[in-house]
Amino acid sequence: MRRREALRFGGSVLTATGLFGGLSVSVAAADGFEPLGRLELPGAKELVVDDGIAYAAVTDGFATVDVSDPTDPVVLAERRGLLADHSDGPMKGIQDGKVGGDYYALAGPAHPRNGVPYAAVVFDISDPASPEEVLTYETEFYHHNLDTDGETLFLCGNDGAGNPLVCVDIDSGTELGRWSVVDADDRWGEVDHRLREFHDVWVEEGIAYCALWNAGTWLLDVSDPAAPTPITNVRGLDPTEQAEIETRDDRREALLTLPGNDHFAMPQRDGDGRLFAVNEEAWATDANASTSELGGVELWDAEAGERLSRIEALPTEDATFNGVWTTAHNFEFVGDRLYTSWYRGGVRVHDVSDPTDPRELAHWRETETTQFWTAQRGPDCVVASSWRDPSADDPESAAALYTFPDPAASDATPTPETAGDGSGLGLLAGVVGVGAAAVARRLRRE
């Protein structure tokens, strides 16, 4: 089981003001949703928060940060230059890490890269100020993302063939089992492996939520990690049509634009196991494209296999991959709160107590100086990582951890739709049936 900090809400009624003018977009809630604290953390990418500690992957290692006082985040420990003694060391391109039990696991590189170790590394974090390495697991595949439940590593095995989920026992360092979308439907074996990349995995209560780009989002029973078993899948495109994408230009368009682009999925933590969220990471071919053409966040009913609602991306002056990114990126879904990041579109918090009608509670955006990688619930706060400052001479060295107040549960109001920067715009709600198969009863585990 994952350790979880207490869910406590603070904050006040939120409103928003803003100005949308080129790169000078700046949005803040007038009554409090502004940064409480900021900590420069070079190389910061994904972070997770556990018991008041933020664990941040920082490209060449990781850092543990005490955020129990969100006005004064403090670095407890840094471990950089991992596997420096390796013949191909040190590790590089570390973008993801997850906590399970008393372990923190991270892996790299995030993309294919010559001359660096391909490995997952696990640390004992029972003392967050003094992490101790307990396992290095080398692989033949790169590691964009991973997860752990404290007993098993769940790796995104992008080997260019099956691109399987790979399950590894932490104590023994041995592989237990694997599963590939090609095993479930051999037509995917004819599709370019980049179009069905195993992009991310989240494991909760014995179920793995697997984001496989254009192959959709798959839910697997991994209660026995030696035998991962499909439960259901949603959003996948037609593998026969995907197999017909052959030219470099067509493949690039299919990789960067909708439909498809399943990037990350996770269930509603502290919920009944029925709801989960999926985000798309997607851009447009036209700089002036509408926000509906960019990657958003969808809420799904797992049992019914139905999409309940979609939260759209924020406005941008250039919607292309080479423009100003406001597509959805990583998020956390806890209880009736959805904490989301949108790169240069900022950080948002939604009330999803009615999953068919998400209600924006707060939004902060400073397009010139931040590009948010994730937003997570912390102790009485929201913790987010900005992976670069576009205005800086060395953008990634200017990466930082931010803390914000957590909007109040009872009296927060939506950001007004009249805000000049588009804060609160682009929300598409409603029940949309997609004809996916119903989920097995084991989704309702207690």
Domains along the chain with CATH numbers: 16-444 (2.130.10.10)
- 320 DSSP 8-state letter: S
Residues 391-445: tens digit of each pLDDT = 999 988 899 999 999 996 444 444 443 343 333 333 333 222 222 333 333 333 3
Alpha helices in 47-160 (DSSP H): none
Please say whether the dihedral angle defined by the alpha carbons of residues 180, 184, 187 and 188, taken in this order, is positive or negative: negative
- Burial (CB count <10 Å: 0-12, 13-18, 19+), residue 76: middle
Phi-psi region of 395 (alpha: psi -120 to 50; beta: other; left: phi over 0): alpha
**Residue linked to tokens 């404290």:** 150
Residues 226-266: tens digit of each pLDDT = 999 999 999 999 999 999 999 999 999 999 999 999 999 99
Checking if the pLDDT of 272 tops 70, the result is yes
Q: How far is CA 277 from CA 122, 156, 297, 404, in A?
A: 27, 19, 7, 22
Confidence bin at 103 (pLDDT 50/70/90): very high
Residues 10-41: tens digit of each pLDDT = 333 333 333 333 444 556 553 579 999 999 99
pTM of the model as a whole = 0.88
